[in-house]
């Protein structure tokens, strides 16, 4: 398994966020990005979006806690054999979870290459 420091991993997550088109980044609302080692319920999960997608929000959403996008370090490192591959996997995972924030389902994300 490829290993990188937590700081390096978080920098690459930040780089992936910088790759989000400006229009999409500005449209993101009430969402935080977290980095954790593993998901306790599904240790092989690469990323997870938890919240209410922008397309499903209504007047009852006001005052809600922020949605969360969590990127899981250890599974991403486990599927990567090079630093370049890890950077790509991080980017795809970040974009995939942001896609869920915008209400895009897995089938469409696969078509877009974000799966």
| Domain boundaries along the sequence of the chain | 6-112
Give the residue carrying structure tokens 């978080």: 10
Give residue 16's pLDDT.
96
State the burial class of residue 41 (Cβ atoms within 10 Å of its Cβ: 0-12, 13-18, 19+).
exposed
What's the fold here for domain 6-112? Zincin-like (3.30.2010)
Whether 31 and 68 have beta carbons less than 8 Å apart is answered as yes
pLDDT tens across the length of the chain (115 residues): 799 999 999 999 999 999 888 988 898 888 999 999 999 999 999 999 998 877 777 667 677 778 999 999 999 999 999 999 999 999 999 999 999 888 888 888 888 777 6
Nearest partner of 43 among 75, 21, 6, judged by Cα: 75
Query: Residue 69's beta-bridge partner residues?
Result: 33, 49
* Euclidean distance between CA atoms 60 and 99, whole angstroms: 22
Helix (H) or strand (E) holding 32: strand 31-36
């Amino acid at each position: 398994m490829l290993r990188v420091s937590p700081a390096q991993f978080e920098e690459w997550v930040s780089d992936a966020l910088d790759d989000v088109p400006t229009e999409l980044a500005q449209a993101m609302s009430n969402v935080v990005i977290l980095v954790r080692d593993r998901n306790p319920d599904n240790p092989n999960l690469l990323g997870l979006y938890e919240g209410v997608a922008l397309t499903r929000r209504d007047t009852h959403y006001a005052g809600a806690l922020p949605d969360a996008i969590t990127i899981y370090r250890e599974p991403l490192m486990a599927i990567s054999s090079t630093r370049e591959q890890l950077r790509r996997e991080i980017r795809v995972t970040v974009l995939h979870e942001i896609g869920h924030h915008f209400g895009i389902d897995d089938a469409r994300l696969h078509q877009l290459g974000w799966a």
